[in-house]
Amino acid sequence: MNEKISIGNNLDLGGAIFYLILAYFIGRYYRNRRYPAAMRYRTTMPRFWAGLVDQAVLFPSKVLLALATPWLPLYLIALFEIALSTAYSILLHARYGQTVGKWVCKIKIVDHLTATQISLNQAFLRDSGLLVGLLYAASVLKGEEFDPNQLTGTAALVAGTWFILEIISMLLNKKRRALHDLLAGTVVIRTNAEADDLPAAQTPLHNDTGAFNPPEGTL
């Protein structure tokens, strides 16, 4: 048992170091980059890298949950992990239009019609499909050999199916709107693209200093 815990701790530490180093180089890559207006919706790769940066941000919570494995069933730890990552995504998207990963990669979620800040309802809808699927998967995993750090069985089927649908939907429209964007009425844009064809109603929510710039009246 002690040997297993020791190996797990070493893997956790190695994963943390990997994500932190990766996040650093991703940040350096996107820090001063600018793109033409035609590239505003070409966000496939920045989204991917943003997800890895967010994994680095969420890593401490995963370590804490891993420490609770002697006292909590694995399916319950999986539910906690789903709840934490979903809350992180919904709350930051609703307030800023971007998670830490999206901020690092200079992309942002906006309303697809007005290019303005999305609402809490839109942020929730955006994560609702995968959230419902994973919650269902976790609820039926009591009888499975389940490791929350390595999706298996029902959870793998749900996550894999959703991922495939996301990729297909992104490839079928010019603005690269994934399935969750279609559900929520949102679109992901580059914040470091030229702004000459943005709708007049848009209020900039990101500045070149790299700092969050929440809309007026939200603080």
pLDDT digits (tens, 9 = 90+) for 189-211: 999 988 765 454 444 444 544 44
Q: Would the pTM of this model clear 0.85, i.e. be above it?
A: no
Question: What's the count of helices (H) and strands (E) in the chain, helices before strands?
Answer: 7, 2
- What pLDDT, in 10s, does the model give residues 151-204? 555 666 666 777 788 888 888 888 889 888 988 999 999 999 887 654 544 444
**Where do the DSSP E strands lie in the chain?**
107-111, 186-190
- What pLDDT, in 10s, does the model give residues 43-95? 989 999 998 899 888 888 777 777 777 787 776 777 777 788 889 999 999 99
Q: Which residues, at least 6 apart from 167, have a Cβ–Cβ distance to it below 8 Å? A: 178
Please indicate whether residue 24 or residue 5 has the higher confidence score (pLDDT). 24
Q: How many percent of the chain have pLDDT more than 90?
A: 26
**Where do the DSSP E strands lie in 21-134?**
107-111
Residue ranges per domain, the chain?
Answer: 2-190
